[in-house]
Each structure stands twice: as structure tokens, then as C-alpha cells.
Amino acid sequence: MAFLLSSQNVFEYLINQGVCLPTDKEKSTVELKPAKNFNLLITLPTNNQILIKQERYNREGKTYGEFFNEWRIHDLCRQFTELQKISPYLSEALDFNPQYSIIIFNYLNKYQDLSNFYAQDSTFPHQIATSLGKTIALIHKSTWNRQDYRDFLCNYQGAITEEIPNLTANLERITPEIFSLVPVDGLKFFALYQRYDSLGQAIADLNYNYTACCLTHNDLKLNNILLSLNWQQTTTNLSSFNDSIIRIIDWENSNWGDPASDLGTLIGSYLQIWLQSMITSKTIALEESLRLATIPLEILQPSMAALAIAYLNHFPEILETSPDFLLRVVQFAGLALVETIQSKLQHEKSFGNSGICMLQVAKTLLCRPEKSIATVFGMATLELTHRAIRSE
């Protein structure tokens, strides 16, 4: 019989796992944190906080095993001591119970969600993007082309180990069966998507050229990134890379993958800030909607450029083996926008004018990446790479 975690039995579980003491229970508090998994936040008498998560069971009484993926990243850093240098930039996992799909973390209460920070202030300091680019480059470079790390991850019992993803999943040709699977707005999306053969071909080519060569997060969006509450003081006195202001969390989709996918997904997350601030209407042309966005692209370009420059500065080898790296980054950003549309269709059953605008931008990124680089970063490929070299 499956064990279901609850606020009533959580302390008994934590005590049994050796995470808490029996004396902690009386003066501690328990808070439910709404999420796709069952999450409880425990505040201990010392004011330290613990986040305990249980993966939800499906109708067959099984889980998808995503927490195996999360735990194996921390296990990787424990098994290979030279990777302890990346641990300060990850979440802090304390315990994992594979039988009940329960994982426990130190709750990083001295950090804030980066997406919330951007939403609250509508400012995009280049120092944050620079630190983010350094952090991602460190993780990718530290694991790049290491067969022993790859073998460890791919042979980890219980983890999801498929290296080459199916980027065209759920984008197949319309068949009669699809009418019972998607809402009416979903059919509008498929009809528009399939109007452009070049779009489907671009995604298929991106899938064909997918190069798995390092540890990748595979869901590197702004809401999976934490920013230190003291980021301003830290960046002012930045004396070494160990002073990073960034933590990357939720490694449930991690795998041995293509670094361009991580960077592209993150760029796509920045672009969504712009696209979701558009004013859309059937009477307003796409170009006008993009121009009227309350957060113009020009405000985001310096951060996206700083992100890319910092990444290339700290991982220049990627351009030696993949000269088309930035082109594929931009294409993965377009794919991230397509996946955002699909996610909204799944959860909100809607595909309106804003979705149409987002699909048009995604098409440009995927089908014309050379032209799109200057649009995204505010500068051409040559200037980006030259700035990365000059900043060494």
C-alpha cells in the first residue's frame, strides 16, 4: 500500500529519516505549498526551513520517477568530488526515499524566485544575467564530454535516461483521433502550425542535430532559478566566481543533453516576458502588437546579450566544436515558445491572438536563426563572440 505524506504524518516521517528531532515537532509549523507535486514547508524552532516533496501517484498507483532524476544529480556531485564546485549553484537535497517518491531539501529562504523578481520590478540588471551565464557555463563545462559522468547518469537505477528527446512530440499531423484529444483552440493551433512546412522541418532538423555532451537541466526557465536576496551587495563586491548569486533548482527533467537546449530555453523564457506584455487584438497587426508591448524587447536585449557573452566567455570551447552554437540556441528559444503554447493549451484550453503572435515569433526564430540573433541579442553573432573574447 502506498504511503501518502500529509501534514499529520510529516514529522513522524522526518524523525524516522533522521532529518528532525522529536523535540522539533511541538514548536514547528507546517505549510502547504501548492505545486504539481505534494509539497510541505516545515519551519523548525531554529527558523531553519525544510521543503519535503512527494511525487503524485497516477491512476495505476505509480509515479513517473522524476525525483530519481533530481537525486542523481546530487549523487553525481557526491560520487565525483571534483564536481563539488557546482554544488553551491544547485538546490540542497538532504534525503530521498525511492519507495515512496519523497525528497527533502533545505529550503533556500535567503533566495527569491528570479521570475518573481523580474515581474515585481520590471528591471533586468545585466549583473544578474552575467552571473546566470557564468553559472550555466560552469555546469556545462565541468561535465562536458565526460564519459564517466554520462555513464553514471544513464545507468542510474530508476532515472529517466533517454538522451535524445523527441522534439516533435505532440506536433504530429492531424488525424481523426485528435478531435477527441484537444480543445477547439488546440485545433486552431495545429492548423496554423501545420500551415508552415518549414516550421516542422526546422524542429525536425534541430532534433536530428541534437548533441548530447554534458549535464543539462532541460527545463531551464526563469521560475527554476533563484536569486540571492543580497545580490546587489554580492555583485558590488564580486571578487571570485564562488560569490555566485544564482541557484538552479528543480532538476527533475535533467539528463545528459545538448547545452544549446538549456541556453535556448532560458532565452525563450526571457522572450516570454516581452511577448506576454503585448497588446493583442484582431484589429492590430502583429508588428504593431509587438511594438506596443509594455515591456519592449529593447529592455530585455541587454540581459540576454550579457547572458550569452558571460556563457561564451566562461565556456569558449563550445564554439570550437559547435560553430553554429548560437544559431541552435536561438532555434531552441523558438522551440521553447512553441512548448509554452502547447502547455497553455493543455492547462487553459486557450489559443488566442497572443498565442498566434508567439507562434509567429517562434517560427522566425526556428526558420531564420541567422537573422534572429540580432533581433534577440541586439547585436550580430560576430559582435557577441568578440565581446565574449574581450571580456576574458
C-alpha dist (Å) from residue 220 to 96, 192, 248, 369:
23, 27, 8, 20
Average the pLDDT over 214-229 and give the result.
97
Q: Which helix (H) or strand (E) holds 54?
A: strand 49-54
Grid coordinates of 326: 548560437
Cβ atoms < 10 Å from Cβ of 281: 12
| CA dihedral sign, ordered 159, 164, 167, 169 | negative
Each residue of 290-340: pLDDT tens digit? 778 889 999 999 999 999 999 999 999 999 999 999 999 999 999 999 999
Model confidence at 241, pLDDT cuts 50, 70, 90, reads very low
Predicted TM-score of the model (pTM): 0.91
Provide the Cα torsion 201, 205, 206, 209; round to 10°. 180
C-alpha dist (Å) from residue 117 to 112, 217, 228, 278, 340:
7, 21, 10, 20, 20
Q: Where in the chain is the domain with CATH 3.30.200?
A: 10-106
What is the 3-state secondary structure of 193-211?
Answer: HCCCHHHHHHHHHHHHCCC
Each residue of 107-118: pLDDT tens digit? 999 999 999 999
Contact 246, 220 (CB under 8 A): no
Residues in the chain, overall count: 392
**Beta strand residue intervals within 184-254, DSSP E:** 214-216, 225-228, 246-248
Q: Where in the chain is the domain with CATH 3.90.1200.10?
A: 111-390
Q: Please state which of the four CATH numbers 3.40.640.10, 3.30.365.10, 3.90.1200.10, 3.40.50.300 is assigned to the domain occupying 111-390.
A: 3.90.1200.10
Distance between CA 53 and CA 287 in Å, rounded? 44
CATH numeric code, 10-106: 3.30.200
Each residue of 157-197: pLDDT tens digit? 877 776 778 787 766 655 555 555 556 666 677 667 777 78
C-alpha dist (Å) from residue 80 to 73, 83, 89, 316:
11, 6, 16, 24
